[in-house]
Structure 1
Amino acid sequence: MLSSAASPFLRHIERCRNVTLSAGRLPLFHEGTTIGLVDPACLYWLEDPACTGLMTVTDQAVTLPDARNLRELSLRLARQERYTPFHEWFDVRSPTGKIIGQIDRALIPVFGVEASGVHMNGLVRKASGLHLWVARRSPQKRLDPGKLDHLVAGGMSSGLTPEETLMKEAEEEATIPAGLSRQASHVSTLHYAMSRPEGLRRDRLLCYDLFLPEDFVPHINDGEVESFHLMPVEEVFRRVRDTDEFKFNVNLVLLDLFLRLGMFDKQDSLALADSLYMGEAE
Protein backbone atom coordinates (compact mmCIF):
# COMPACT_ATOMS: atom_id res chain seq x y z
CA MET A 1 0.00 0.00 0.00
CA LEU A 2 1.25 3.47 -0.87
CA SER A 3 1.96 6.01 1.84
CA SER A 4 0.15 9.34 1.83
CA ALA A 5 3.40 10.94 0.58
CA ALA A 6 3.48 8.77 -2.56
CA SER A 7 -0.19 8.11 -3.32
CA PRO A 8 -0.70 11.39 -5.26
CA PHE A 9 1.63 10.07 -7.99
CA LEU A 10 -0.70 7.15 -8.69
CA ARG A 11 -3.28 9.41 -10.34
CA HIS A 12 -0.93 10.08 -13.25
CA ILE A 13 -0.57 6.35 -13.96
CA GLU A 14 -4.32 5.79 -13.67
CA ARG A 15 -5.03 8.72 -15.99
CA CYS A 16 -2.80 7.24 -18.69
CA ARG A 17 -4.34 3.78 -18.30
CA ASN A 18 -7.99 4.78 -18.15
CA VAL A 19 -9.34 2.22 -20.64
CA THR A 20 -9.49 -1.54 -20.95
CA LEU A 21 -8.93 -2.63 -24.52
CA SER A 22 -10.75 -3.01 -26.82
CA ALA A 23 -12.46 0.04 -25.29
CA GLY A 24 -15.66 -0.54 -27.29
CA ARG A 25 -13.80 -0.28 -30.59
CA LEU A 26 -13.71 -2.53 -33.62
CA PRO A 27 -10.54 -4.47 -34.42
CA LEU A 28 -8.57 -3.35 -37.45
CA PHE A 29 -7.29 -6.52 -39.10
CA HIS A 30 -4.38 -6.97 -41.47
CA GLU A 31 -3.31 -10.44 -42.56
CA GLY A 32 -5.27 -12.00 -39.72
CA THR A 33 -3.78 -9.92 -36.90
CA THR A 34 -5.09 -6.87 -35.07
CA ILE A 35 -3.08 -3.74 -35.82
CA GLY A 36 -5.54 -1.16 -34.48
CA LEU A 37 -8.88 -0.46 -32.83
CA VAL A 38 -11.27 1.70 -34.86
CA ASP A 39 -13.61 4.26 -33.35
CA PRO A 40 -17.11 3.03 -34.33
CA ALA A 41 -18.34 6.64 -34.52
CA CYS A 42 -16.09 7.05 -37.59
CA LEU A 43 -17.14 3.95 -39.51
CA TYR A 44 -19.31 6.03 -41.82
CA TRP A 45 -16.13 7.72 -43.04
CA LEU A 46 -14.90 4.37 -44.33
CA GLU A 47 -18.26 3.44 -45.85
CA ASP A 48 -18.19 6.55 -48.03
CA PRO A 49 -17.85 5.71 -51.76
CA ALA A 50 -14.63 7.76 -51.82
CA CYS A 51 -13.00 5.04 -49.66
CA THR A 52 -14.31 2.08 -51.65
CA GLY A 53 -11.76 -0.68 -52.00
CA LEU A 54 -9.38 0.58 -49.35
CA MET A 55 -10.98 -1.28 -46.43
CA THR A 56 -13.72 -3.81 -45.79
CA VAL A 57 -16.13 -2.64 -43.10
CA THR A 58 -18.64 -4.72 -41.12
CA ASP A 59 -20.31 -4.11 -37.77
CA GLN A 60 -17.78 -6.52 -36.24
CA ALA A 61 -14.44 -5.47 -37.71
CA VAL A 62 -12.53 -3.42 -40.27
CA THR A 63 -10.19 -5.33 -42.56
CA LEU A 64 -7.27 -3.78 -44.38
CA PRO A 65 -6.37 -5.86 -47.46
CA ASP A 66 -3.17 -3.92 -48.10
CA ALA A 67 -1.53 -1.85 -45.33
CA ARG A 68 -0.23 0.56 -47.97
CA ASN A 69 -3.86 1.69 -48.31
CA LEU A 70 -3.52 3.57 -45.02
CA ARG A 71 -1.56 6.35 -46.72
CA GLU A 72 -4.15 6.73 -49.48
CA LEU A 73 -6.95 6.57 -46.91
CA SER A 74 -5.29 9.37 -44.92
CA LEU A 75 -5.13 11.54 -48.04
CA ARG A 76 -8.73 10.87 -49.10
CA LEU A 77 -10.17 11.51 -45.63
CA ALA A 78 -8.19 14.77 -45.43
CA ARG A 79 -9.61 15.88 -48.80
CA GLN A 80 -13.08 15.15 -47.44
CA GLU A 81 -12.22 17.26 -44.35
CA ARG A 82 -13.01 14.36 -42.03
CA TYR A 83 -10.04 15.36 -39.88
CA THR A 84 -7.32 18.02 -39.71
CA PRO A 85 -4.06 16.40 -40.82
CA PHE A 86 -0.67 16.96 -39.22
CA HIS A 87 0.96 16.25 -42.61
CA GLU A 88 3.37 14.04 -40.67
CA TRP A 89 3.57 10.33 -41.45
CA PHE A 90 3.95 7.69 -38.75
CA ASP A 91 4.78 4.04 -39.38
CA VAL A 92 2.16 1.40 -38.62
CA ARG A 93 3.64 -1.87 -37.42
CA SER A 94 2.50 -5.45 -37.16
CA PRO A 95 2.47 -7.10 -33.71
CA THR A 96 5.95 -8.44 -34.52
CA GLY A 97 7.28 -4.92 -35.15
CA LYS A 98 7.41 -5.07 -38.95
CA ILE A 99 6.58 -1.77 -40.68
CA ILE A 100 3.56 -2.40 -42.87
CA GLY A 101 2.35 1.07 -43.81
CA GLN A 102 2.08 4.76 -42.92
CA ILE A 103 -0.71 6.92 -41.52
CA ASP A 104 -1.13 10.64 -40.86
CA ARG A 105 -0.37 11.33 -37.22
CA ALA A 106 -3.80 12.86 -36.63
CA LEU A 107 -5.54 9.58 -37.56
CA ILE A 108 -3.59 7.44 -35.08
CA PRO A 109 -6.12 7.89 -32.23
CA VAL A 110 -9.04 7.38 -34.63
CA PHE A 111 -7.73 4.00 -35.79
CA GLY A 112 -6.18 3.14 -32.44
CA VAL A 113 -2.82 2.04 -33.83
CA GLU A 114 0.23 2.04 -31.59
CA ALA A 115 2.57 5.02 -31.88
CA SER A 116 6.10 5.49 -30.58
CA GLY A 117 7.79 8.58 -29.21
CA VAL A 118 10.95 9.65 -27.43
CA HIS A 119 11.23 11.58 -24.15
CA MET A 120 14.54 12.87 -22.87
CA ASN A 121 15.39 14.01 -19.34
CA GLY A 122 17.89 16.86 -19.72
CA LEU A 123 19.84 16.59 -16.46
CA VAL A 124 22.48 18.89 -14.97
CA ARG A 125 24.69 18.12 -11.97
CA LYS A 126 25.32 21.23 -9.90
CA ALA A 127 27.00 21.76 -6.55
CA SER A 128 23.52 22.35 -5.10
CA GLY A 129 22.22 19.03 -6.45
CA LEU A 130 20.63 17.48 -9.54
CA HIS A 131 18.61 19.77 -11.82
CA LEU A 132 16.30 19.11 -14.76
CA TRP A 133 15.63 21.26 -17.80
CA VAL A 134 11.88 21.72 -18.26
CA ALA A 135 10.16 23.14 -21.34
CA ARG A 136 6.84 24.98 -21.44
CA ARG A 137 4.84 24.09 -24.52
CA SER A 138 3.75 26.84 -26.86
CA PRO A 139 0.19 28.10 -26.33
CA GLN A 140 -0.30 27.47 -30.06
CA LYS A 141 0.29 23.70 -29.78
CA ARG A 142 -2.71 21.67 -30.96
CA LEU A 143 -2.38 19.21 -28.06
CA ASP A 144 -1.82 20.24 -24.44
CA PRO A 145 -0.88 23.89 -25.10
CA GLY A 146 1.01 25.64 -22.34
CA LYS A 147 1.77 22.48 -20.36
CA LEU A 148 5.20 21.73 -18.95
CA ASP A 149 7.19 19.17 -20.93
CA HIS A 150 10.56 17.50 -21.25
CA LEU A 151 13.52 19.35 -22.70
CA VAL A 152 13.17 17.07 -25.74
CA ALA A 153 10.17 14.94 -26.69
CA GLY A 154 8.45 13.97 -29.90
CA GLY A 155 6.71 11.31 -31.91
CA MET A 156 8.73 8.93 -34.07
CA SER A 157 8.07 9.91 -37.69
CA SER A 158 8.13 7.38 -40.50
CA GLY A 159 11.56 6.09 -41.45
CA LEU A 160 13.39 7.28 -38.34
CA THR A 161 14.97 5.20 -35.58
CA PRO A 162 14.49 6.27 -31.95
CA GLU A 163 18.03 7.67 -31.85
CA GLU A 164 17.51 9.61 -35.08
CA THR A 165 14.22 10.95 -33.72
CA LEU A 166 15.91 12.05 -30.52
CA MET A 167 18.69 13.91 -32.34
CA LYS A 168 16.18 15.52 -34.75
CA GLU A 169 13.91 16.70 -31.94
CA ALA A 170 16.87 17.86 -29.83
CA GLU A 171 18.09 20.12 -32.62
CA GLU A 172 14.63 21.35 -33.63
CA GLU A 173 13.24 22.02 -30.16
CA ALA A 174 16.24 23.03 -28.06
CA THR A 175 19.16 23.60 -30.49
CA ILE A 176 21.13 20.72 -28.96
CA PRO A 177 23.88 19.67 -31.39
CA ALA A 178 23.97 16.04 -32.54
CA GLY A 179 27.38 15.52 -30.95
CA LEU A 180 25.78 16.17 -27.57
CA SER A 181 22.35 14.56 -28.01
CA ARG A 182 23.82 11.27 -29.26
CA GLN A 183 25.31 10.84 -25.77
CA ALA A 184 21.81 10.28 -24.36
CA SER A 185 21.22 6.84 -22.82
CA HIS A 186 18.08 4.78 -23.31
CA VAL A 187 16.93 4.00 -19.76
CA SER A 188 13.43 2.53 -20.06
CA THR A 189 10.39 1.96 -22.25
CA LEU A 190 6.83 2.66 -21.07
CA HIS A 191 3.47 1.70 -22.57
CA TYR A 192 -0.07 2.88 -21.93
CA ALA A 193 -3.55 2.91 -23.44
CA MET A 194 -5.61 6.00 -22.78
CA SER A 195 -8.85 7.60 -23.89
CA ARG A 196 -8.29 11.25 -24.81
CA PRO A 197 -10.45 13.90 -26.51
CA GLU A 198 -8.66 13.11 -29.80
CA GLY A 199 -9.33 9.38 -29.42
CA LEU A 200 -7.49 6.28 -28.25
CA ARG A 201 -3.80 6.69 -27.45
CA ARG A 202 -1.78 3.46 -27.47
CA ASP A 203 1.70 4.84 -26.93
CA ARG A 204 5.16 3.42 -26.52
CA LEU A 205 7.53 5.90 -24.87
CA LEU A 206 11.27 5.43 -25.25
CA CYS A 207 12.86 7.23 -22.30
CA TYR A 208 16.37 8.72 -22.33
CA ASP A 209 18.67 10.50 -19.90
CA LEU A 210 21.20 13.08 -21.07
CA PHE A 211 23.57 14.75 -18.63
CA LEU A 212 24.30 18.23 -19.92
CA PRO A 213 27.19 20.58 -19.12
CA GLU A 214 26.43 23.05 -16.36
CA ASP A 215 26.94 25.97 -18.76
CA PHE A 216 24.62 24.57 -21.44
CA VAL A 217 21.52 26.68 -22.14
CA PRO A 218 18.83 25.45 -24.58
CA HIS A 219 17.45 27.87 -27.14
CA ILE A 220 14.00 27.97 -28.72
CA ASN A 221 14.23 26.93 -32.36
CA ASP A 222 11.04 25.69 -34.01
CA GLY A 223 8.39 27.55 -32.00
CA GLU A 224 6.93 24.46 -30.32
CA VAL A 225 8.34 25.61 -26.98
CA GLU A 226 7.53 28.89 -25.25
CA SER A 227 10.37 28.83 -22.70
CA PHE A 228 12.92 26.64 -20.90
CA HIS A 229 13.50 26.47 -17.13
CA LEU A 230 16.21 24.74 -15.09
CA MET A 231 14.63 23.31 -11.93
CA PRO A 232 15.99 21.32 -8.99
CA VAL A 233 14.73 17.77 -9.37
CA GLU A 234 13.05 18.12 -5.96
CA GLU A 235 10.94 20.99 -7.36
CA VAL A 236 9.95 18.86 -10.36
CA PHE A 237 9.03 16.07 -7.94
CA ARG A 238 6.81 18.47 -5.99
CA ARG A 239 5.04 19.73 -9.09
CA VAL A 240 4.31 16.22 -10.34
CA ARG A 241 3.02 15.27 -6.90
CA ASP A 242 0.90 18.36 -6.22
CA THR A 243 -0.17 19.70 -9.63
CA ASP A 244 -1.17 18.75 -13.16
CA GLU A 245 1.16 21.28 -14.77
CA PHE A 246 3.02 18.68 -16.83
CA LYS A 247 1.68 17.15 -20.03
CA PHE A 248 -0.12 13.93 -19.15
CA ASN A 249 2.46 11.39 -20.36
CA VAL A 250 5.48 13.39 -19.20
CA ASN A 251 4.43 12.54 -15.64
CA LEU A 252 5.04 8.84 -16.35
CA VAL A 253 8.56 9.44 -17.65
CA LEU A 254 9.34 11.68 -14.67
CA LEU A 255 7.99 9.08 -12.28
CA ASP A 256 10.34 6.55 -13.90
CA LEU A 257 13.18 9.03 -13.27
CA PHE A 258 12.20 9.56 -9.63
CA LEU A 259 12.13 5.79 -9.08
CA ARG A 260 15.57 5.36 -10.62
CA LEU A 261 16.91 8.21 -8.46
CA GLY A 262 15.59 6.54 -5.30
CA MET A 263 13.30 9.41 -4.34
CA PHE A 264 10.75 7.12 -2.65
CA ASP A 265 11.15 4.78 0.28
CA LYS A 266 11.40 1.06 -0.48
CA GLN A 267 7.74 0.16 0.04
CA ASP A 268 6.43 3.09 -2.03
CA SER A 269 9.03 2.44 -4.73
CA LEU A 270 7.94 -1.18 -5.13
CA ALA A 271 4.24 -0.29 -5.22
CA LEU A 272 4.68 2.53 -7.75
CA ALA A 273 6.97 0.41 -9.92
CA ASP A 274 4.36 -2.38 -9.98
CA SER A 275 1.81 0.11 -11.33
CA LEU A 276 4.09 2.01 -13.70
CA TYR A 277 5.75 -1.01 -15.33
CA MET A 278 2.69 -3.28 -15.22
CA GLY A 279 2.64 -5.43 -18.35
CA GLU A 280 5.79 -3.87 -19.78
CA ALA A 281 7.61 -6.04 -22.28
CA GLU A 282 10.87 -4.12 -21.98
Structure 2
Amino acid sequence: MLSSAASPFLRHIERCRNATLPAGRLPLLHEGTSIGLVDPASLDWLADPACTGLLTVTDRAVTLPDGQNLRQVSNLLARQKRYVPFHEWFDVRSPDGTIIGQVDRALIPVFGVEASGVHMNGLVRKEAGLYLWVARRSPQKRLDPGKLDHLVAGGMSSGLTPDETLAKEAEEEAAIPAPLARQARHVSTLHYAMSRPEGLRRDRLYCYDLFLPQDFVPHINDGEVESFHLMPVEEVFRRVRETDEFKFNVNLVLLDLFLRLGMFDKQDSLVLADILHGRG
Protein backbone atom coordinates (compact mmCIF):
# COMPACT_ATOMS: atom_id res chain seq x y z
CA MET A 1 0.00 0.00 0.00
CA LEU A 2 1.42 3.37 -1.03
CA SER A 3 1.22 6.41 1.19
CA SER A 4 -0.70 9.48 0.06
CA ALA A 5 2.65 11.17 -0.58
CA ALA A 6 3.74 8.51 -3.09
CA SER A 7 0.47 7.37 -4.65
CA PRO A 8 0.31 10.25 -7.22
CA PHE A 9 3.38 8.77 -8.96
CA LEU A 10 1.51 5.56 -9.70
CA ARG A 11 -0.59 7.23 -12.41
CA HIS A 12 2.48 7.64 -14.62
CA ILE A 13 3.23 3.92 -14.52
CA GLU A 14 -0.41 3.04 -15.14
CA ARG A 15 -0.58 5.44 -18.09
CA CYS A 16 2.44 3.81 -19.74
CA ARG A 17 1.13 0.31 -19.07
CA ASN A 18 -2.44 0.80 -20.20
CA ALA A 19 -2.34 -1.91 -22.90
CA THR A 20 -3.68 -5.35 -22.05
CA LEU A 21 -2.28 -7.45 -24.86
CA PRO A 22 -3.23 -8.58 -27.44
CA ALA A 23 -6.37 -6.41 -27.06
CA GLY A 24 -7.78 -7.39 -30.46
CA ARG A 25 -4.48 -7.01 -32.29
CA LEU A 26 -3.24 -9.74 -34.62
CA PRO A 27 0.16 -11.34 -34.13
CA LEU A 28 2.84 -10.44 -36.65
CA LEU A 29 4.60 -13.76 -37.25
CA HIS A 30 8.07 -14.51 -38.55
CA GLU A 31 9.20 -18.14 -38.71
CA GLY A 32 6.28 -19.06 -36.46
CA THR A 33 7.22 -16.58 -33.74
CA SER A 34 5.30 -13.43 -32.84
CA ILE A 35 7.42 -10.31 -33.32
CA GLY A 36 4.63 -7.74 -33.15
CA LEU A 37 0.92 -7.06 -32.74
CA VAL A 38 -0.80 -5.46 -35.72
CA ASP A 39 -3.49 -2.81 -35.37
CA PRO A 40 -6.67 -4.18 -37.02
CA ALA A 41 -7.30 -0.73 -38.52
CA SER A 42 -4.26 -1.22 -40.75
CA LEU A 43 -5.21 -4.65 -42.11
CA ASP A 44 -6.73 -3.22 -45.26
CA TRP A 45 -3.37 -1.56 -45.98
CA LEU A 46 -1.53 -4.85 -45.62
CA ALA A 47 -4.11 -6.86 -47.56
CA ASP A 48 -3.66 -4.51 -50.54
CA PRO A 49 -2.65 -6.47 -53.68
CA ALA A 50 0.54 -4.40 -53.79
CA CYS A 51 1.68 -6.25 -50.64
CA THR A 52 1.14 -9.68 -52.17
CA GLY A 53 4.21 -11.81 -51.58
CA LEU A 54 5.54 -9.44 -48.93
CA LEU A 55 2.98 -10.33 -46.27
CA THR A 56 0.23 -12.89 -45.78
CA VAL A 57 -2.87 -11.54 -44.05
CA THR A 58 -5.59 -13.72 -42.52
CA ASP A 59 -8.20 -13.07 -39.86
CA ARG A 60 -5.87 -14.68 -37.32
CA ALA A 61 -2.40 -13.37 -38.10
CA VAL A 62 -0.12 -11.38 -40.38
CA THR A 63 2.82 -13.50 -41.54
CA LEU A 64 6.13 -12.08 -42.70
CA PRO A 65 7.94 -14.67 -44.85
CA ASP A 66 11.17 -12.67 -44.98
CA GLY A 67 12.22 -10.02 -42.45
CA GLN A 68 13.79 -7.94 -45.19
CA ASN A 69 10.30 -7.42 -46.64
CA LEU A 70 9.63 -4.89 -43.88
CA ARG A 71 11.65 -2.24 -45.74
CA GLN A 72 9.68 -2.86 -48.92
CA VAL A 73 6.38 -2.70 -47.04
CA SER A 74 7.46 0.54 -45.32
CA ASN A 75 8.40 2.15 -48.63
CA LEU A 76 5.26 0.88 -50.37
CA LEU A 77 2.90 2.19 -47.69
CA ALA A 78 4.71 5.54 -47.68
CA ARG A 79 4.25 5.85 -51.46
CA GLN A 80 0.56 5.07 -50.96
CA LYS A 81 0.46 7.84 -48.32
CA ARG A 82 -0.87 5.42 -45.72
CA TYR A 83 1.37 7.06 -43.13
CA VAL A 84 3.84 9.94 -42.77
CA PRO A 85 7.33 8.42 -42.61
CA PHE A 86 10.11 9.56 -40.32
CA HIS A 87 12.68 8.35 -42.91
CA GLU A 88 14.49 6.74 -39.98
CA TRP A 89 14.98 2.97 -39.86
CA PHE A 90 14.63 0.96 -36.67
CA ASP A 91 15.68 -2.67 -36.24
CA VAL A 92 12.97 -5.27 -35.70
CA ARG A 93 14.13 -8.18 -33.56
CA SER A 94 12.95 -11.65 -32.71
CA PRO A 95 12.31 -12.42 -29.02
CA ASP A 96 15.88 -13.74 -28.71
CA GLY A 97 17.28 -10.40 -29.94
CA THR A 98 18.16 -11.43 -33.50
CA ILE A 99 17.70 -8.61 -36.01
CA ILE A 100 15.31 -9.77 -38.73
CA GLY A 101 14.72 -6.51 -40.62
CA GLN A 102 14.11 -2.78 -40.47
CA VAL A 103 10.96 -0.68 -40.42
CA ASP A 104 10.31 3.05 -40.69
CA ARG A 105 10.02 4.49 -37.20
CA ALA A 106 6.46 5.71 -37.85
CA LEU A 107 5.24 2.14 -38.46
CA ILE A 108 6.54 0.75 -35.17
CA PRO A 109 3.26 1.42 -33.28
CA VAL A 110 1.19 0.19 -36.26
CA PHE A 111 2.99 -3.16 -36.31
CA GLY A 112 3.33 -3.20 -32.52
CA VAL A 113 6.98 -4.26 -32.64
CA GLU A 114 9.29 -3.51 -29.74
CA ALA A 115 11.43 -0.39 -30.04
CA SER A 116 14.38 0.73 -27.96
CA GLY A 117 15.49 4.17 -26.86
CA VAL A 118 17.85 5.94 -24.48
CA HIS A 119 17.09 8.51 -21.75
CA MET A 120 19.79 10.35 -19.87
CA ASN A 121 19.53 12.22 -16.58
CA GLY A 122 21.88 15.19 -16.91
CA LEU A 123 22.82 15.83 -13.27
CA VAL A 124 24.80 18.64 -11.65
CA ARG A 125 26.08 18.64 -8.06
CA LYS A 126 26.11 22.05 -6.38
CA GLU A 127 26.62 23.20 -2.80
CA ALA A 128 22.87 23.81 -2.63
CA GLY A 129 22.13 20.23 -3.68
CA LEU A 130 21.49 18.11 -6.77
CA TYR A 131 20.16 19.66 -9.98
CA LEU A 132 18.81 18.20 -13.21
CA TRP A 133 18.98 19.65 -16.72
CA VAL A 134 15.49 19.59 -18.25
CA ALA A 135 14.64 20.18 -21.90
CA ARG A 136 11.41 21.58 -23.30
CA ARG A 137 10.44 19.86 -26.52
CA SER A 138 9.98 21.95 -29.63
CA PRO A 139 6.35 22.87 -30.43
CA GLN A 140 7.04 21.40 -33.88
CA LYS A 141 7.70 17.88 -32.55
CA ARG A 142 5.31 15.28 -33.96
CA LEU A 143 4.89 13.55 -30.58
CA ASP A 144 4.16 15.45 -27.38
CA PRO A 145 5.17 18.93 -28.59
CA GLY A 146 6.08 21.40 -25.86
CA LYS A 147 6.37 18.80 -23.10
CA LEU A 148 9.30 18.71 -20.69
CA ASP A 149 11.90 16.08 -21.48
CA HIS A 150 15.30 14.75 -20.53
CA LEU A 151 18.45 16.61 -21.50
CA VAL A 152 19.16 13.71 -23.89
CA ALA A 153 16.66 11.14 -25.15
CA GLY A 154 16.03 9.40 -28.44
CA GLY A 155 15.12 6.23 -30.27
CA MET A 156 17.73 3.63 -31.17
CA SER A 157 18.17 3.72 -34.94
CA SER A 158 19.13 0.66 -36.95
CA GLY A 159 22.67 -0.58 -36.39
CA LEU A 160 23.36 1.38 -33.21
CA THR A 161 23.93 0.14 -29.67
CA PRO A 162 22.45 1.99 -26.66
CA ASP A 163 25.84 3.58 -25.89
CA GLU A 164 26.27 4.69 -29.52
CA THR A 165 22.74 6.08 -29.58
CA LEU A 166 23.41 8.03 -26.39
CA ALA A 167 26.59 9.59 -27.81
CA LYS A 168 24.80 10.49 -31.05
CA GLU A 169 21.79 12.04 -29.31
CA ALA A 170 23.97 13.88 -26.77
CA GLU A 171 25.82 15.66 -29.56
CA GLU A 172 22.75 16.28 -31.71
CA GLU A 173 20.35 17.45 -29.00
CA ALA A 174 22.52 19.24 -26.44
CA ALA A 175 26.01 19.68 -27.99
CA ILE A 176 27.58 17.42 -25.35
CA PRO A 177 31.11 16.47 -26.47
CA ALA A 178 31.69 12.77 -27.04
CA PRO A 179 34.36 12.40 -24.30
CA LEU A 180 31.91 13.82 -21.75
CA ALA A 181 28.96 11.78 -23.04
CA ARG A 182 31.03 8.58 -22.70
CA GLN A 183 31.09 9.15 -18.93
CA ALA A 184 27.35 8.44 -18.75
CA ARG A 185 26.53 5.30 -16.76
CA HIS A 186 23.78 2.84 -17.65
CA VAL A 187 21.68 2.53 -14.49
CA SER A 188 18.44 0.82 -15.44
CA THR A 189 16.31 -0.65 -18.22
CA LEU A 190 12.54 -0.13 -18.23
CA HIS A 191 9.74 -1.71 -20.29
CA TYR A 192 6.12 -0.86 -20.97
CA ALA A 193 3.26 -1.50 -23.42
CA MET A 194 1.08 1.52 -24.06
CA SER A 195 -1.85 2.35 -26.31
CA ARG A 196 -1.35 5.80 -27.82
CA PRO A 197 -3.10 7.72 -30.61
CA GLU A 198 -0.36 6.56 -32.99
CA GLY A 199 -0.84 2.91 -32.01
CA LEU A 200 0.79 0.39 -29.69
CA ARG A 201 4.12 1.33 -28.11
CA ARG A 202 6.15 -1.58 -26.74
CA ASP A 203 9.23 0.25 -25.57
CA ARG A 204 12.51 -0.70 -23.95
CA LEU A 205 14.22 2.31 -22.34
CA TYR A 206 17.92 2.26 -21.53
CA CYS A 207 18.37 4.77 -18.69
CA TYR A 208 21.63 6.62 -18.03
CA ASP A 209 23.01 9.08 -15.48
CA LEU A 210 25.65 11.64 -16.41
CA PHE A 211 27.10 14.03 -13.85
CA LEU A 212 27.99 17.25 -15.65
CA PRO A 213 30.41 20.02 -14.64
CA GLN A 214 28.80 22.99 -12.90
CA ASP A 215 29.89 25.29 -15.73
CA PHE A 216 28.45 23.09 -18.49
CA VAL A 217 25.58 24.69 -20.41
CA PRO A 218 23.77 22.68 -23.11
CA HIS A 219 23.12 24.29 -26.47
CA ILE A 220 20.22 23.72 -28.84
CA ASN A 221 21.76 21.86 -31.73
CA ASP A 222 19.12 20.21 -33.92
CA GLY A 223 15.86 22.09 -33.40
CA GLU A 224 14.15 19.29 -31.46
CA VAL A 225 14.43 21.28 -28.22
CA GLU A 226 12.97 24.72 -27.56
CA SER A 227 14.95 25.47 -24.38
CA PHE A 228 16.97 23.99 -21.51
CA HIS A 229 16.44 24.62 -17.80
CA LEU A 230 18.49 23.63 -14.75
CA MET A 231 16.12 22.61 -11.94
CA PRO A 232 16.68 21.39 -8.37
CA VAL A 233 15.83 17.71 -8.32
CA GLU A 234 13.24 18.45 -5.61
CA GLU A 235 11.41 20.73 -8.07
CA VAL A 236 11.47 18.01 -10.71
CA PHE A 237 10.09 15.59 -8.10
CA ARG A 238 7.26 18.02 -7.33
CA ARG A 239 6.34 18.47 -10.98
CA VAL A 240 6.26 14.74 -11.64
CA ARG A 241 4.09 14.23 -8.55
CA GLU A 242 1.68 17.12 -9.15
CA THR A 243 1.61 17.73 -12.92
CA ASP A 244 1.75 16.04 -16.32
CA GLU A 245 4.26 18.53 -17.73
CA PHE A 246 6.80 15.84 -18.66
CA LYS A 247 6.53 13.60 -21.72
CA PHE A 248 4.77 10.39 -20.71
CA ASN A 249 7.74 8.01 -20.60
CA VAL A 250 10.14 10.57 -19.10
CA ASN A 251 8.15 10.25 -15.87
CA LEU A 252 9.13 6.58 -15.59
CA VAL A 253 12.84 7.31 -15.96
CA LEU A 254 12.60 10.14 -13.44
CA LEU A 255 10.73 7.91 -11.00
CA ASP A 256 13.57 5.40 -11.31
CA LEU A 257 16.01 8.24 -10.53
CA PHE A 258 14.00 9.37 -7.49
CA LEU A 259 14.02 5.80 -6.16
CA ARG A 260 17.77 5.52 -6.57
CA LEU A 261 18.23 8.87 -4.82
CA GLY A 262 16.19 7.67 -1.82
CA MET A 263 13.49 10.33 -2.21
CA PHE A 264 10.71 8.03 -0.89
CA ASP A 265 10.36 6.34 2.47
CA LYS A 266 11.37 2.69 2.64
CA GLN A 267 7.94 1.11 2.22
CA ASP A 268 6.89 3.38 -0.65
CA SER A 269 10.24 2.79 -2.31
CA LEU A 270 9.84 -0.99 -2.21
CA VAL A 271 6.31 -0.90 -3.62
CA LEU A 272 7.08 1.61 -6.39
CA ALA A 273 10.26 -0.19 -7.41
CA ASP A 274 8.45 -3.50 -7.71
CA ILE A 275 5.71 -1.96 -9.87
CA LEU A 276 8.09 0.12 -12.01
CA HIS A 277 10.33 -2.85 -12.75
CA GLY A 278 7.47 -5.25 -13.34
CA ARG A 279 7.89 -7.27 -10.18
CA GLY A 280 4.59 -6.31 -8.61
- TM-score range for the pair, normalised by the shorter chain length: over 0.9
Deviation at 1:20, TM superposition (A): 1.1
Identity %, equivalent residues? 86
SS in 1 for 2:145: coil
The alignment partner of 2:207 has SS state of strand
Alpha-carbon displacement from aligned partner over 1:20-68 (angstroms, at most 9, x marks no partner): 1112100000011100000011100011111111000000000000000
Across the aligned residues of Structure 1 and Structure 2, the Cα RMSD in angstroms comes to 0.8
Instruction: Tell me which stretches of 4 or more aligned residues in structure 1 moved more than 4 Å.
Output: none
User: Residue in 1 aligned with 2:222?
Assistant: 222
1:103-142 aligned at under 5 Å gives the runs 103-142=103-142
Show the 5 A alignment for 1:63-212.
63-212=63-212
Specify the SS of the correspondent of 1:91.
strand
State the distance in 2 between where 1:176 and 1:7 align.
36
Matched pairs, number: 280
SS of equivalent residue, structure 1 residue 140: coil
Q: Secondary structure at the match of 1:235?
A: helix
Where does residue 275 of structure 1 map in the other structure? 275
User: How big is each residue's C-alpha offset from its partner over 1:87-143, in whole Å with a ceiling of 9 and x where there is no partner?
Assistant: 000000000001110000000000000000000000000000000000000000000
Following the alignment from structure 1 to structure 2, what is the Cα–Cα distance between the partners of residues 23 and 202?
A: 13
- Judged with a 3 Å threshold, the aligned counterparts in structure 2 of structure 1 residues 85 and 171 are, in CA distance, closer, same or farther, namely same
SS of equivalent to 1:208:
strand
What secondary structure does 2:125 align onto? strand
What TM-score do you get using the length of structure 1 for normalisation? 0.99
| Structure 1: gaps (5+ residues) | none
Pairwise CA distance, 1:279:
5.0
Instruction: Give the gaps of 5 or more residues in structure 2.
Output: none
Amino acid at match of 1:221: N
Whole-angstrom distance in 2 between the partners of 1:257 and 1:268: 14
Q: Deviations over 1:190-214 (max 9, x none)?
A: 0000000000000000000000000
Deviations 1:124-166 (A, max 9, x none): 0000000000000000000000000000000000011111100
